[in-house]
């Protein structure tokens, strides 16, 4: 799950070996040192290598879990509501914030990249299975994701837009394209396409994810709406109200 894949560098997406991330062999490529985006990926890989080395040299009993975009209720914050007015939440919370505010959904570089999402209940089931079967899991690194839930980010925006309108009865919002440099800063790079192989976790633990993207999105979005929609609406009313009306309301 680290860095980019060969598909990000022009090799054909028609060949799965260019973007499927297996636990033992992978088409991973780290971005350049000048792009600080890849510090996160490098740090994760170095920690995994250290753990594996201790397992080999010092008989450390370990199991490594690689989460692939786990999503679900309460997964992230909404700016301006949870005491965090700055920063940028992950894609699901970013899109939900725009939908609840009735503002355009921002698509970085047109939303051309892909992401593969796994519902948190499936992920927790996998972790419990790993813990419950140490004889089958010790000494392995497991991808925990859902290859069936791979989607292009701009299509994710369309899916959420339609689903939000269906749940709330409110009109769909527009989308707005913005460059990665303008949104994140100079030197921004992204992973175009990377999908986890579930071969090993199926082989060792007979586990596979069950929840479709639509099911996961609907459950997650309903919790976001229940928790945040009224709070955002109240903040909007307060911001739009004349100063005198706000003071009167406080009295």
- pLDDT string in tens for the chain (251-residue length): 577 888 888 889 899 989 998 888 777 888 788 888 888 888 999 999 999 999 999 999 999 999 999 999 888 888 878 766 666 788 999 999 999 999 999 999 999 999 999 999 999 999 999 999 999 999 999 999 999 999 999 999 999 999 999 999 999 999 999 998 888 888 788 888 999 999 999 999 999 999 999 999 999 999 999 998 888 888 878 877 775 555 555 55
pLDDT at 79: 82
Q: How many domains does the chain have?
A: 1
CA–CA separation, 197 and 1 (whole Å): 10
**CA nearest to 197, candidates 247, 150, 244:** 150
Do residues 99 and 137 make contact, with C-beta atoms less than 8 angstroms apart?
no
pLDDT at 215: 97
What is the chain's alpha carbon radius of gyration, rounded to the nearest angstrom? 21
40 a catalytic residue: yes
217 Cβ contact list (under 8 Å, min separation 6): 71, 159, 160, 163
- Domain harbouring 67, CATH code: 3.40.50.720
Reported as a single tens digit per residue, the pLDDT across 192-249 is: 899 999 999 999 999 999 999 999 999 999 999 999 888 888 887 887 777 555 555 5
> Is 198 domain-assigned?
yes
For residue 212 the two structure tokens come to 């479709």
> Is 245 domain-assigned?
no
> Is 137 domain-assigned?
yes
> Is 251 domain-assigned?
no
pLDDT at 1: 59
Do residues 161 and 105 make contact, with C-beta atoms less than 8 angstroms apart?
yes
Q: What is each CA distance from 243 to 81, 101, 123, 233, in whole angstroms? A: 21, 21, 48, 17
Task: Tell me the residue range of the domain where 213 lies.
Answer: 4-237
CA–CA separation, 230 and 199 (whole Å): 44
pLDDT at 47: 95
Most distant CA atoms of the chain, gap in Å: 71
> Is 176 domain-assigned?
yes
**CA nearest to 80, candidates 64, 67, 93, 92:** 93
Element (H, E) at 158: helix 153-168
> Is 206 domain-assigned?
yes
Q: 45: how many CB neighbours lie within 10 A of its CB?
A: 16
* 3-class secondary-structure state, position 203: helix
> Is 244 domain-assigned?
no
Helices 153-168, 91-101: crossing angle, 10 deg rounding? 40
Among 2, 9, 19, 40, the active-site one is 40
pTM over 0.85: yes
Residue 191 φ/ψ region, left for φ over 0, alpha for ψ in the -120 to 50 degree band, beta for the rest: beta
> Is 247 domain-assigned?
no
């Amino acid at each position: 799950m680290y860095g980019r894949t060969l598909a990000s560098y022009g090799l054909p997406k028609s060949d799965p070996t260019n973007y499927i991330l297996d636990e033992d062999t992978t088409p991973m490529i780290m971005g350049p040192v000048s792009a600080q985006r890849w510090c996160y990926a490098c740090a994760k890989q170095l920690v995994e290598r250290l753990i594996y080395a201790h397992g080999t040299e010092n008989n450390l009993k370990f199991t490594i879990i690689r989460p692939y975009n786990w999503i679900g209720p309460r997964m992230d914050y909404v700016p301006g509501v949870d005491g965090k007015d700055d920063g940028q939440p992950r894609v699901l919370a970013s899109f939900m914030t725009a939908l609840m505010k009735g503002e355009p959904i921002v698509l970085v570089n047109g939303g051309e990249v892909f992401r593969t999402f796994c519902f948190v209940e499936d992920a927790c089931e996998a972790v419990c299975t790993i813990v419950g079967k140490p004889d089958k899991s010790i000494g392995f690194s497991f991808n925990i994701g859902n290859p069936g839930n791979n989607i292009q980010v701009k299509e994710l925006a369309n899916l959420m837009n339609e689903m939000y309108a269906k749940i709330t009865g409110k009109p769909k919002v527009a989308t707005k394209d913005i460059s990665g440099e303008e949104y994140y800063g100079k030197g921004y790079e992204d992973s175009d396409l990377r999908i986890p192989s579930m071969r090993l976790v199926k082989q060792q633990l007979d586990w596979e994810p069950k929840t479709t993207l639509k099911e996961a999105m609907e459950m997650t979005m309903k919790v976001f709406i229940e928790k945040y929609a009224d709070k955002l609406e109240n903040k909007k009313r307060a911001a739009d109200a004349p100063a005198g009306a706000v003071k009167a309301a406080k009295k």
